[in-house]
Structure 1
Amino acid sequence: MTWTISETYEADKISQNGNKFLIANGFMGYRGTLEEFGKEQFCAVNLLGIYDQVGAQWREPINAPNPFAIQLFAESQSLSVLDTVPIEHQQQLDFRYGIHKRHTVCALADGNQIDYQIERFMSMDDVHSLNAQIKISVLKETKIVLKVGIDGDVWDINGPHLENFQMEDEGLYSALHVQTHEQHCPMSVGQQIALSHHYQSKKVVSEQQIVNELAVTILPDQPLVVDVYTAIVHGRESYQTAACVKQSVVASAFKGYEKTLHAHQNKWDELWKNADVEVEGDPEAQRAIRYSIYHLLSLGPRHAQNLSIPARGLSGQTYKGAVFWDTEMFLFPFFLRTEPAVAKALLNYRVETLPGALKKAAMYGYEGAFYAWESQEGGYDATSDYNVTDVFTDRPMRTYFKDKQIHINGAIVHAIWSYIQGKGDDSFLLSGAGEVILACAEFYVSYSFFKPQKNRYELLDVIGPDEYHERVNNNLYTNFMAKQTVEIGLKVIQYYEKNAPKKLAAYFSINDKEHTKTLWQDFAKRLYIPQMNEATQVIEQFDGYFDLEDVAVDTVASRLLHPREYWGGAYGVAADTQVIKQADVVLLLALFSQTFPQSTLEQNWQYYEKRTEHGSSLSACMYAILASKIGKADWAYPYFVKSATIDISGESKQFAGNIYIGGTHPAASGGAWMTIVEGFAGVTIEEEKISLDPHLPSHWQSLKFKIMHQQICYQIDIGKDYWSCKSVETL
């Protein structure tokens, strides 16, 4: 039970199940749709790191042609769940190995029953490869027609992105070759079919599809087995896509289905070795955390050294397939402690997109680097000036996410510094990471305003993590992260002076360096950090926050005139109240709990918890972590469950205004893991010292997991009255 989830068929859950049953391998993701589904049911094969724009529409990632377009007919009757109500049906995800399965039984008018099972996987051994196996059995001799093809008529939110369709037909090998609209990037999808029975075949080719129609007679004691080997290659890797895709397909077909599946499973076994978390005493929590870890592992871009993970993973084109701060703050910690090579790849993405960040800062008139809020390739900021559509007028609403969410820089620098400390290797500073830190620090100082009357620097006109309140002054989280960034920048200057003076000279002239050091030291010393109220110990989220209407979340919700109405912006129902979208002050306190007194942590948790709407999937985990750190594990537990099960339950926002924002929630999965490690286990790491301060939920019996730090793998074991941390492997 702890390694599978399953559902029957319900038409109104098609979109949700597409997310819930997603399979992915870091290169691409296949939504958890049934094989007979098409674009109307949100079927999609989403590719990492390749984007396209059509006209003035939003730029978004490419959905590849579907290589598993499969339809089954028995005695001319369609056995699709869209046409025939099955007498049995189950859809299942084995998230131990990333295998999608379906089992369907349909009855015919003559009393015959057709039992068919299809399983598919995206190979972790060859990331271009997707293979499937179909098994069909009958009660009576039956003539069936199995249509297996490649469907290029794909689901796009802002497409169509594919054009110049060309077909390749070599018997049971088929291929569809296309180009992207904007940059004419080639892409090929290949497919090879192998059957256990004699068959008659007919190739049906249309403008965007190539289909093998296979006619087979099946006897009751001779089930039909059909293996489908497919692959996808695009021009970001090779412009010889046709040859490469055929090579991958032929190699899989030569090995056979069982061997390709076994190689895929072996890779998953390797991944789970250091990533698994064992919970005793709570089977549902055990399943939920493993499901969360599955999503994280399935998204790691192991095929590349410089790609990152989009906010909605590989579940589709939502949020334009862009990389947000989510990656550094909620996904990166997992990979740093379980798979440092992937963690470095995520950071290399930021190193390589530094030119885009420098360009963006200059566009706004600032020095240094201002990273994209919604980052696509090259650091291009895909954020629209009108990111929300008004549900009443259907007109786009001006938003300032791209312009004012400057805390993105702090997230990137925080992750880089965590990597350097966690890996025990500061050479990364010499490979571009140092320049990123310096440029981010330079931006914050350039952006700041010095107020002589109060003898302090301030960061004005910003948006913090709470997006319901735009263009505020001195957001606590933003200012704190800016201060940390500049302090780290000063350490980088010191490191360069000792280890890479030429690199420092290339960045600063001698005079500029000394002036910069003096200025940054002054900034770090005098940047305004909002302080707690002495009476209540609560810290104001931003200037004037306490002056806003103090009202309950339910009261604000009752003011909505439309269920999809956006709560934030200039006229949102929450904008003039203390109701916030997500953890903001609590996020900071969870990340830097050792900086604040325990009483301050608890008072702020209680104050902001009742004022948080949790309109973001990033929110619940931070309330869980902070509650654990103040010794309130049973306060934390419901928020942990909310994070860990968000893609199982489907309980998340699907729209912001009229903009679809559905998809998987990798950051919530990462947050669930962080809750286990940093919250319930109470792991803190300072230089070479690992400390534990566990606070398990009262009904948990034990907790086990591994973490890596400075080339050493540690086993953490926690029970009701014991805990231990032992090194088990040197890497």
Structure 2
Amino acid sequence: MVTINEYTLTLADIGNDALQNIETLFAQANGAIGVRASLPIPEKDSKPGTFLNAFYESHDIVYGENAYGYAKKHQTMVNLFDFKCIQLMIDGDSELTLKKKELSLDMKNGLLNESYLYESQSGKILEYQVESFASHFDRRVYAQRISLKPVNFSGVVKINKEPQAIRSVKDSIFDPRVKDASVQLHQSGNKYTTPNSKRSFYVKFDSIATEQFMNAGEVVMYDQLYQISIENEFYDNTYELLKMKQIEIFEKFWQSSDIVIEGDTILQKGVRFNLYHLFNSAGRDGCSNFSAKGLTGEGYEGHYFWDTEMYLLPFFIYTQPDIAKSLLSYREYTLPNAQARAKELGFKGALFAWRTINGDETSAYYPAGTAQIHINADIAYAFQLFERVTGEEEFIEQNCEIIFETARFWLDYGFYSQRGFEIHEVTGPDEYTALVNNNYYTNKMAQNNLYYAAELARRMEVNKEESEKWQAAGKAMFLGFDSDLQVTPQDDSFLIKEPWDFKNTPKENFPLLLHYHPMKIYKHQVLKQADTILAHMLYSENEEQIGRDFDFYEPLTTHDSSLSKTIYGVVASKIGRHEQAYHFFRESATMDLEDLQGNAAHGIHAANMGGSWLGLIYGFAGLRCEKDKLITSNQLPKEIKSLKFTLTFRGKQQTFKIG
């Protein structure tokens, strides 16, 4: 297996080598363009793809029974081209058989190396190799260097290579998390436009079309740059220049973001693999964000969720603050959409979309979509964390309307009762429990949002009357507690529901959402993912109480969401359950490499990847940010001897070693 000094992923390192899994895991991206690692000569099960961050097609949502305020349009990230495909002929024979394939992902330098042996019907073998990368220096470019070598013959080799538009292929397997992302684009010259959303991009593609005699052992090389630009602007680059810059950029990335694990080489590779994909798929332009599957697959239609703020941004804030600022700026970019949405629903302030690309709500099922209004507070929390870690007050003040508008929403949506300030008819992080009153996580996060808005208003000397109301609502926030069970209720009704019959639920019936109607699920005590426990991860106030809540909720949690186990792992570390913490973290670190969710073919589990960073840094290293310093503590499980990592705090890098 890999040593701790290696940054290379090969086919031997993955638990499921099905074609679509390979295409996901070895995908290349740069925050703008993503390219799946499909075969040069596609096979039946292949799912090639090229994606452009924030480029989508829209179409009307058709409801059997519509209602006021329902989301109106789908938005789907478009699968554009197959950038990998070729046409090969060996002495006139195009019926070639793939005899061998090798893939090596050089995560240290941001390069993918592939090697294939193709055999003609007469036994002539041609070696096809390609080195490729999505350029981080010029994010318009996907670069390839192709090498051809006859292995056991001398003869005529013909090659044609140019991008092929992706055609729609329907998946026969029912899965609401996946939607076909292919559309027929309108082409005019080098311009491509979607029929409905009217979004356009321009291309500049190098092509190969040549036929020549080659001697056995002779190597012929071709360089190709495939370029996509929204502005129709292209730069003159060479493959060598872009490769040199790619290596330089990744050297800086690993200097600031690497984590060295001593004692577990499998986890070391898994963590580096996760960090690699996090760096690759994050939007950098303030107008795009981080899709749930990054830029590696069609899962969740390329939508942005709360995943960015709660699972991904901590990694970027502490290691790549410039990228974090770009991701946060996207929320400022979509603030007008959020304000319009709140007004449409009859509330003040702003309500950010649960799932979106352009800022408009696209979730057709509002109980597990719009009702997850905690996203407002999640966004405010991320801005607050950015300020705490970077000290950049000016950026926060420039974006203060996000904090103020979300606070205005809470003040209008909630209400005062004899118990305090209550928030009703919401869905918390646990999507197996919908439309409840006083979800603990939502109330706790809203309280923080209100306090932060009041603090910011006082600092900026604005909104004095409003800030006093925000402070008062935060102070009066109702946070339930069951004195009989000594448990923090997830919401007002959760503790009186009938527990789910786990004992008689077949293993093949998980995830539950694919096998049971929501009404069946909602009426039971069963969690899809961490909910109250997520609040405890963020606000560690009473370790004894957290332990009781952990023991109550974990057995009721299916972990059907990839966002779940990492949170339970962090909290397990905080309360000294080191064996459990390691178990949860291991699954988080290797989720995609071992295909533990069974759907890596649809794209990476980006939030889980960010969660694996949380597991190491918040969990095993016990990181806390208190006032003007970072504090760590040794919470390492016995399987890990030491942990070494670098964080950026107030503009300066600090290196930590635990153990």
Q: TM-score, normalised by structure 2?
A: 0.90
Partners of 1:306 and 1:347 within 8 A in 2: no
Q: What amino acid does structure 1 have at the position aligned with 2:514?
A: Y
> 2:339 & 2:573 partners in 1: Cα distance?
39
Q: What amino acid does structure 2 have at the position aligned with 1:43?
A: P
Identify the residue that residue 622 of structure 2 maps to in structure 1: 682
Identify the residue that residue 208 of structure 1 maps to in structure 2: none
Q: What amino acid does structure 2 have at the position aligned with 1:375?
A: T
Secondary structure of 1:135 counterpart: strand
Q: 2:360 aligns with which of 353, 361, 380?
A: 380
Q: Deviations over 1:156-206 (max 9, x none)?
A: 845654433245xxxxxxxx532222243332332225xxxxxxxxxxxxx
Q: Structure 1 pair 527/221, CA: closer, same or farther in 2 (3 Å)?
A: closer
> 2:535 & 2:617 partners in 1: Cα distance?
17
The alpha-carbon deviation at position 61 of structure 1 amounts to: 1.9
Secondary structure of 1:604 counterpart: helix
Determine whether 1:633 maps to 2:633: no
Secondary structure of 1:357 counterpart: helix
> 2:635 & 2:347 partners in 1: Cα distance?
45
Q: Structure 1 pair 277/408, CA: closer, same or farther in 2 (3 Å)?
A: same
Partners of 1:162 and 1:179 within 8 A in 2: no
Partners of 1:19 and 1:315 within 8 A in 2: yes
Determine whether 1:576 maps to 2:576: no
Determine whether 1:549 maps to 2:498: yes
Partners of 1:45 and 1:63 within 8 A in 2: yes
List alignment gaps of at least 5 residues for structure 2.
62-72, 170-178
Q: Deviations over 1:244-278 (max 9, x none)?
A: 34xx3xx23xx3x3332122111111111100000
Secondary structure of 1:101 counterpart: strand
Determine whether 1:712 maps to 2:652: yes
The alpha-carbon deviation at position 3 of structure 1 amounts to: 1.7
The alpha-carbon deviation at position 576 of structure 1 amounts to: 2.2
Identify the residue that residue 664 of structure 1 maps to in structure 2: 604
Q: Structure 1 pair 224/640, CA: closer, same or farther in 2 (3 Å)?
A: same
Write out aligned runs for 1:366-405 (5 A).
366-377=347-358, 379-385=359-365, 399-405=366-372
Q: What amino acid does structure 2 have at the position aligned with 1:402?
A: G
Q: What amino acid does structure 1 have at the position aligned with 2:91?
A: E
Identify the residue that residue 59 of structure 1 maps to in structure 2: 75
Q: Deviations over 1:340-360 (max 9, x none)?
A: 111111111111211111111
Q: 2:51 aligns with which of 46, 50, 55?
A: 46
Secondary structure of 1:555 counterpart: coil
Determine whether 1:443 maps to 2:456: no
Partners of 1:43 and 1:154 within 8 A in 2: no
Secondary structure of 1:588 counterpart: helix
> 2:57 & 2:201 partners in 1: Cα distance?
13
Q: 1:340 aligns with which of 321, 333, 350?
A: 321
The count of residues paired between Structure 1 and Structure 2 equals 633
| Alignment root-mean-square deviation, CA | 2.5
Q: Structure 1 pair 469/98, CA: closer, same or farther in 2 (3 Å)?
A: same
Quote the sequence identity (%).
27
Q: Deviations over 1:34-85 (max 9, x none)?
A: 22238973211111122222455732123333343313222333466xxx24
The alpha-carbon deviation at position 217 of structure 1 amounts to: 1.7
> 2:516 & 2:532 partners in 1: Cα distance?
18
Secondary structure of 1:571 counterpart: helix
The alpha-carbon deviation at position 603 of structure 1 amounts to: 2.0
The alpha-carbon deviation at position 326 of structure 1 amounts to: 0.4
The alpha-carbon deviation at position 571 of structure 1 amounts to: 2.3
Q: Structure 1 pair 78/697, CA: closer, same or farther in 2 (3 Å)?
A: farther
Determine whether 1:539 maps to 2:488: yes
> 2:347 & 2:326 partners in 1: Cα distance?
28
> 1:159 & 1:605 partners in 2: Cα distance?
39
Determine whether 1:613 maps to 2:558: yes
Identify the residue that residue 70 of structure 2 maps to in structure 1: none
Q: Structure 1 pair 705/568, CA: closer, same or farther in 2 (3 Å)?
A: farther
- After the TM superposition, which of the residue ranges 263-272 and 105-114 deviates more from structure 2? 105-114
List alignment gaps of at least 5 residues for structure 1.
168-175, 194-211, 386-398, 498-503, 656-660, 720-731
> 2:511 & 2:382 partners in 1: Cα distance?
37
Partners of 2:79 and 2:166 within 8 A in 1: no
Secondary structure of 2:559 counterpart: coil
> 2:133 & 2:9 partners in 1: Cα distance?
16
Identify the residue that residue 219 of structure 2 maps to in structure 1: 223
Write out aligned runs for 1:419-438 (5 A).
419-431=386-398, 433-438=399-404
Secondary structure of 1:68 counterpart: coil
> 1:10 & 1:700 partners in 2: Cα distance?
22
Partners of 1:162 and 1:178 within 8 A in 2: no
> 2:287 & 2:203 partners in 1: Cα distance?
24
Determine whether 1:165 maps to 2:187: yes
> 1:43 & 1:134 partners in 2: Cα distance?
18
> 2:205 & 2:377 partners in 1: Cα distance?
45
Write out aligned runs for 1:174-189 (5 A).
176-189=190-203
Q: Structure 1 pair 125/521, CA: closer, same or farther in 2 (3 Å)?
A: closer
Determine whether 1:75 maps to 2:91: yes
Q: Which has the larger radius of gyration?
A: 1
Q: 2:106 aligns with which of 94, 100, 109?
A: 94
> 2:493 & 2:59 partners in 1: Cα distance?
43
- After the TM superposition, which of the residue ranges 637-646 and 46-55 deviates more from structure 2? 46-55
> 1:10 & 1:434 partners in 2: Cα distance?
46
The alpha-carbon deviation at position 442 of structure 1 amounts to: 1.1
Determine whether 1:489 maps to 2:456: no
Identify the residue that residue 266 of structure 1 maps to in structure 2: 248
Q: 1:530 aligns with which of 470, 476, 480?
A: 480
Q: Structure 1 pair 40/280, CA: closer, same or farther in 2 (3 Å)?
A: closer
Write out aligned runs for 1:461-472 (5 A).
461-472=425-436
The alpha-carbon deviation at position 569 of structure 1 amounts to: 5.7
Write out aligned runs for 1:506-517 (5 A).
513-514=464-465, 516-517=466-467
Partners of 2:15 and 2:594 within 8 A in 1: no
Q: Structure 1 pair 154/462, CA: closer, same or farther in 2 (3 Å)?
A: same
Q: 2:538 aligns with which of 591, 606, 609?
A: 591
Partners of 1:54 and 1:160 within 8 A in 2: no
Partners of 1:306 and 1:349 within 8 A in 2: yes
Partners of 1:374 and 1:402 within 8 A in 2: yes
Partners of 1:178 and 1:187 within 8 A in 2: yes
Larger RCO, structure (CA 8 Å, separation 6 or more): 2
Q: Structure 1 pair 3/161, CA: closer, same or farther in 2 (3 Å)?
A: same
Q: What amino acid does structure 2 have at the position aligned with 1:700?
A: I
